[in-house]
Structure 1
Amino acid sequence: MLNRTCLKGFNSSTSITSAGFEFTKLTSTRAAFTKVALAVSLATSGPLSAATISVSGACTLKNAIISANQNSPIGGCSAGSGADTIFLPSGTLTYSNAEPGVDISGGSALPVVDSQITIQGSNSSLARSASLTTPDFRLLTVGSAGNLTINDVEIVNGMAPSGGGILCTQATLTVSNSNLQRNSSSIQGGAIASDNCSLTVNGLSSFSNNVSNTGGAIFALTSSVSLSNSDISANQAETGGGVAVEYCVTTISDVQINDNSASNAGALALIDSVSSYISDSEFTGNQADESGGAVGVSFGVVTIKQTTMSGNEAGFDGGAISTQDADLTLSNSQLSENSVMTGGGGGIYSLSNITHIDSSSVTFNSASTGGGVDGRNSTLTLSNSTLNSNDASSGGAIYSGYSELSLSDNNVANNHALVAGGAVYVANNGHATRLSNNLINLNSTDGYGGGMVVAASSDVVMTRDRIMSNAADQAGGLLIVSNSSVTLRDASVQSNSAINSSGGVSIDGSELTIERSTISENSSNVAAGISATNGSAMKLLNSTVSLNTAGFSIGGIQLSNSNASLVHATVFQNSGGSDASGIYWGGASSSVSLLNSIIALNGVSDCNVPADTGLQGNWFSDSSCSGDADGDPLLAPLANNGGPTETHALVATSGAIDLALTSFCKVPIGKVDQRGYQRDGACDSGAYEFGASDITYYVIPLPSGDTVVIPL
């Protein structure tokens, strides 16, 4: 979990822990800081023309800055005039003592920059002496009304409470094509600290091996921050190993932020962010002991586009990104091989958040819950994305707890969970969960729900989703438990497998409505198609359960102290052992009602005991369901006959044509078949309406009495 405290000022500190980022709170007032900054900024204003000053001989960099600030010649330097450029010689200028009279949250090697100055280097370095006797001070300070640009300059070994290399307050700072390394601060900004500044970093600048409490390389407060075309690597902090910003407008583009470390937010901490925009960047190999291996967000609005985050690690949550009370949008990005040791969200952890993920790839991430994404008390939306080969204890790709979850047009494949929910685990306690047009494929778990688990009174509607080829010990495709409610509409649950029971769908103490959907070709030892237990209720409407295979018993539908209602359903050619393979129910409170349905050619028998068939319009191949045997209904093989799911078409000579109870053909459920095609007034039994499409079949009778149905 992200822990949060506001950062105020640039001064001494006290350690606290609060709800939010957990780090050092900076307690001194900004007012005192501002007074000092204003005092050092009251220099004479210069004319509009510019001057160039070369550092050489008696014209030291110190004198050059004073000349530029005061627009007067000092110590061999020409006078400044307006926006001045100071040219440095190549090589290193080393400083052993701080400038007298300058103490803004620490000393400074050079006078405060209080005018518009460009320091132009030529493979030039400004360094604090590495001698053990050298006091602490930074290299450069930009005061109020200052506007400093450094270009082709290296800032090395600075050390101050805030801004070990450079401190900017109420001013403008631009760092271009420069290198800031081995600087440190005890409070904020190992290399740069910015308070109410306009901070720009660009032009192949790099920050490495800087250290601070907050913002290993850069810290910014109430500033405008633009980072581009730069590298920030191998920095360290308690919060924000590379960069930390608070109350800022931040833009990061084409930046590599790699191999940084922190307790929270290994690479980048965004705290109370006004707005943050990250694009075309890379976060690799960052590490956080607690939250946010790469990025930690606490409050604010964050947009991330065309960015890669890979190989980042966190101890508790958010291997790549951890967010709290924020609005996060991630698009056209890749999260891969990120990990969490003991918590949630190998890729993203979202707490009390609004999180949108679109057109992105979330692959090979791992965590205890939500190997790819973990959302808690959040609104979580994923669309047009790939979630592949993620791993967790629960929710191999996605874990959603007490959240509103929307998944659309995603490919969720090859994920694994040790305990439950190979791809998705939903525990949303009544919060709306909506899925559409997703492929949930080839996921697995050692426990329950190879494709998906729905638990904790969740309300789930799945439309045009395909749950295919998933595997589990129990409930290979979908597990619904704990007073949850699921609607499958225009969906397919196909070719899933379970070692023990429920190859396709398992319902325990919950409700399932299946509309215009197909449950087919699933396999398990027991109850290969659908299993409903412990007071569950199931409706099978305009849907097909076929070709499911149980190794021991019950290929189609099993009910244990549960109820099922089948309307215009087709339960066909399920097989398994010596028990009924169409519908099998047991327990005093179990019941089955059938209307306008086909239950046929299911293993040893279609039903184990007679069902409630008082509503009529049904076709049974044997007498086990009603006492009457109608024989082979002449159905074509399972195929794409139009509509979103596969169906068994009725051939022209099928006895199920026009068999349905006609009064029910006019109600909403009976008006269309499984494909969504209009039924006529004298409609057919089962899920398919003959004549609503142009498909024709040729039926070949066999000597055994069976038939072969061939589509023409």
Structure 2
Amino acid sequence: MIDKKQLFTIFIGLVFTINAKAETILVNKTCTFTDAIHAANNDEIVGGCSAGNGSDLIVFVEADQVLSVNQGLHNSLLQHNVKVAYPSIDSAVTIEGNGLHIQADTRTENFRVMDMIGSLGERLILRNLTISGGDDGSGIGSGLFVFGGRLTLENVRFTENRGALLLLEVLDVEINHVLIDNNWTDSSSPFSAGLESKGSDLVIKNSSIVNNHVRFDGTDFKMSPSHAAGGIGLSMSFPATIVNSTISGNTAITGGGLVIKENSNNLTGTTGNLPGIKLEIIHTTISNNSALFGGGVVVFESAIPVSFSHTLIAGNISDQSLGSELWVADGVVLFMDDFNVIKNHHLSPNVIAALGDSDLISNQTSSQIVMPLTQLQGLSAHPLPIESDAIDSGSTSCFTANDQLHQLRPADGNKDGTAQCDSGSIEFVDLIYTSGFENTP
């Protein structure tokens, strides 16, 4: 069997081959992460780090490092008077964390953990790392703020940050196998506690956005697009796809799980008139979110159509009985009729009007439709209980060949001899789940 050290050695060999025309900068005892970023930004030798050269690769040699930071020693290139733990990235760079945990302590000073300002062809890639504890004082991407350029996140976790992730006009964003959990913001912030994407072309897959919270007191509020979402906020109507993902346990004033709202005043370009451009939510489970208004999903405005396919929305709560599961405003072009399962619980009239013959309004209880949030393969997800309305509720042709846990789709969950896609992020398999982990049958 190949152990973890051997796998990392193989990985290093591969990236050296793939990045032959770039520089690989090794973070070790003589090269700090701060100096490595400077070397990549400026293509020069800094401290014990080799000089960058074009699109660089920064690799943490030691596995599972913990970098504890309690000061923002660098000025952000994105905002005046905002401190960052590490230098702002302004060139194309891949950071291979090798299990890295950047642990910020902001009890004595507010600062952001990382940010990037990128040009058209520059991509920031983060792999295999955790960012926690960031607090810039206002919740503006305290874990990571990216403006412009391109972004890829793979096997990354953002946890316990004040406003974890902010993406502003990022041309191409790929988020794969990412956990955004237990982040927070307050009621004065316009940006989501978990992920806020404004004018960015976004794909989220195989990811979990769970237990993020907007902190507020009382109930004396009105439903408003100015409120921060708990889990995900999407605005400025660029195409976005959320697939094979879980949005659960998030709380807010308006829109606990997901909020879609149009806000193009500051957008430098638009795709609103291009054919085929959509906001798509596919094979996604949205459950156990709560808000005063619109517990699960709220769609205020969108210049491009909003589409739901093979998606499971159940068990969300709205204190004001307004769109507990899904609320959509007048004028939004809404595509349903594609094997969605939605609990019959305070749906807005526009949602009911858009539902088609292939969709199912379920009268099952929430616990009959989805099991509690469970830790599976480093993510959080909702397995389906036996006899859930979501089992085999879809077509025989799924959007993806695998579910969020990389199980094959479709599976014949109801044992009727025909394999059909389940609605939601996880395909039903006859397994026993114990203590939050998957066991054998």
Please indicate the TM-score interval, normalised by the length of the shorter structure: 0.5 to 0.7
**Contact 1:269 1:297 survives alignment (8 Å):** yes
What is residue 115 of structure 1 aligned with on the other side? Answer: 91
**Contact 1:347 1:365 survives alignment (8 Å):** no
Q: 295, 298, 301: which is aligned to 1:299? A: 301
1:326 aligned counterpart, secondary structure: coil
Give 1:198 deviation, angstroms: 3.2
Return closer, same or farther for 1:52/1:358 CA change in 2, 3 Å cut-off: farther
**Contact 1:347 1:362 survives alignment (8 Å):** no
Q: 245, 257, 261: which is aligned to 1:255? A: 245
Alignment coverage as a number of residue pairs: 304
Aligned amino acid, residue 347 of structure 1: L
**Is 1:64 matched with 2:67?**
no
What is residue 113 of structure 2 aligned with on the other side? Answer: 139
What is residue 326 of structure 1 aligned with on the other side? Answer: 332
1:204-219 equivalent positions in 2, closer than 5 A: 204-212=177-185, 213=189, 214-219=191-196
1:281-680 equivalent positions in 2, closer than 5 A: 281-290=284-293, 292-300=294-302, 301-314=305-318, 315-324=320-329, 325-330=331-336, 331-336=338-343, 339=345, 346-350=346-350, 355-364=354-363
For the aligned residue pairs, the C-alpha RMSD in angstroms reads: 2.2
Q: Distance in 2 between matches of 1:284 and 1:129?
A: 32
2:254 aligned counterpart, secondary structure: coil
**Contact 2:323 2:348 survives alignment (8 Å):** yes
Runs of 4+ in 1 over 6 A off after TM superposition: none
What is residue 128 of structure 1 aligned with on the other side? Answer: 104
Give 1:333 deviation, angstroms: 0.9
**Is 1:194 matched with 2:163?**
no
Q: Distance in 1 between matches of 2:206 and 2:349?
A: 28
- TM-score normalized by structure 1? 0.41
Q: Distance in 2 between matches of 1:49 and 1:82?
A: 8
Aligned amino acid, residue 317 of structure 1: L
Higher relative contact order (CA 8 A, sep 6+): 2
What is residue 166 of structure 1 aligned with on the other side? Answer: 144
**Contact 2:284 2:310 survives alignment (8 Å):** yes
**Contact 1:327 1:354 survives alignment (8 Å):** no
Q: 59, 76, 98: which is aligned to 1:102? A: 76
What is residue 175 of structure 1 aligned with on the other side? Answer: 153
Give 1:183 deviation, angstroms: 0.5
Return closer, same or farther for 1:103/1:114 CA change in 2, 3 Å cut-off: closer
**Contact 2:127 2:156 survives alignment (8 Å):** yes
Q: 77, 92, 103: which is aligned to 2:66? A: 92
**Contact 2:74 2:86 survives alignment (8 Å):** no
1:170 aligned counterpart, secondary structure: strand
Return closer, same or farther for 1:211/1:357 CA change in 2, 3 Å cut-off: farther
1:171 aligned counterpart, secondary structure: strand
**Contact 2:134 2:143 survives alignment (8 Å):** yes
Q: Distance in 2 between matches of 1:320 and 1:349?
A: 12
Give 1:173 deviation, angstroms: 1.7
**Contact 2:98 2:128 survives alignment (8 Å):** yes
Q: Distance in 1 between matches of 2:123 and 2:34?
A: 16
Give 1:115 deviation, angstroms: 0.9
Q: Distance in 1 between matches of 2:307 and 2:289?
A: 20
Q: Distance in 1 between matches of 2:180 and 2:349?
A: 28
2:213 aligned counterpart, secondary structure: coil
**Contact 1:165 1:183 survives alignment (8 Å):** yes
- TM-score normalized by structure 2? 0.65
1:63 aligned counterpart, secondary structure: helix
Aligned amino acid, residue 230 of structure 1: S
What is residue 54 of structure 1 aligned with on the other side? Answer: 26
Give 1:263 deviation, angstroms: 1.0
**Contact 2:178 2:207 survives alignment (8 Å):** yes
Return closer, same or farther for 1:266/1:101 CA change in 2, 3 Å cut-off: closer
Give the stretch that moved more between structures: 302-311 or 170-179: 170-179
Query: Structure 1: where are the runs of 5+ without partners?
Result: 1-46, 185-189, 340-345, 367-712
Aligned amino acid, residue 254 of structure 1: N
2:38 aligned counterpart, secondary structure: helix
CA-to-partner distance for each residue in 1:570-605, whole Å, 9 max, x for gaps?
xxxxxxxxxxxxxxxxxxxxxxxxxxxxxxxxxxxx
Query: Structure 2: where are the runs of 5+ without partners?
Result: 1-18, 215-226, 264-271, 273-277, 366-441
Give 1:148 deviation, angstroms: 0.9
CA-to-partner distance for each residue in 1:630-657, whole Å, 9 max, x for gaps?
xxxxxxxxxxxxxxxxxxxxxxxxxxxx
**Contact 2:173 2:200 survives alignment (8 Å):** no
Q: Distance in 2 between matches of 1:117 and 1:240?
A: 30
